[in-house]
């Protein structure tokens, strides 16, 4: 995994020409995040392969943290179709591009970020609550 993230960061560094400014990277990253959100919304509103059933979930007062995994869910119903999956994956790829560009601009290794976040999640387990 480390090799793939390093290769990806290196490729992004070699391809990023027009938007090298940290301000450009930040704004393009924000824009790509919005495009991911839009692609997911369109899977509901235009395609209909997904539906959203969002409402407050009743949580019993005696529920434990481990119970929450069963009580709470994504509020999505249905399965994403192949077309919507392709669109969301493409938009996530663009978002990853700008994440790598930001990491490059700040001289941060995405491999290190993933490693540290993975270690944190392993340590905190269910108590992470993110």
CATH number of the domain at 78, please: 1.10.287
List pLDDT tens digits, range 51-76.
999 888 888 889 887 788 778 888 89
Q: Are 81 and 89 in contact (CB under 8 A)?
A: no
pTM, full prediction:
0.83
Distance CA 50, CA 41 (A): 9
Give the domain range for residue 16. Answer: 2-128
User: Which pLDDT tens digit goes with each residue over 13-66?
Assistant: 998 887 789 999 999 999 999 999 999 999 999 999 989 998 888 888 898 877
Is the separation of the CB atoms in 91 and 84 below 8 Å?
Answer: no
* pLDDT greater than 80 at residue 90: yes
- Number of separate domains in the chain: 1
The predicted structure's pLDDT at residue 51: 93
Task: Return the pLDDT at 16.
Answer: 83
């Amino acid at each position: 995994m480390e090799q793939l993230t390093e290769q990806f960061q290196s490729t992004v560094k070699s391809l990023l020409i027009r938007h090298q400014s940290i301000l450009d990277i930040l704004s393009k990253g924000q824009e790509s995040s919005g495009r991911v959100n839009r692609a997911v919304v369109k899977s509901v509103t235009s395609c209909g392969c997904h539906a959203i059933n969002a409402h407050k979930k009743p949580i019993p007062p005696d529920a434990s943290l481990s119970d929450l995994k069963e009580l709470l869910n994504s509020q999505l119903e249905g399965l994403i179709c192949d077309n919507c999956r392709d669109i969301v994956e493409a938009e996530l790829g663009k978002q990853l591009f700008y994440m790598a560009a930001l990491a490059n601009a700040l001289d941060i290794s995405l491999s290190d970020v993933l490693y540290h976040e993975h270690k944190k999640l392993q340590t905190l387990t269910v108590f992470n609550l993110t």
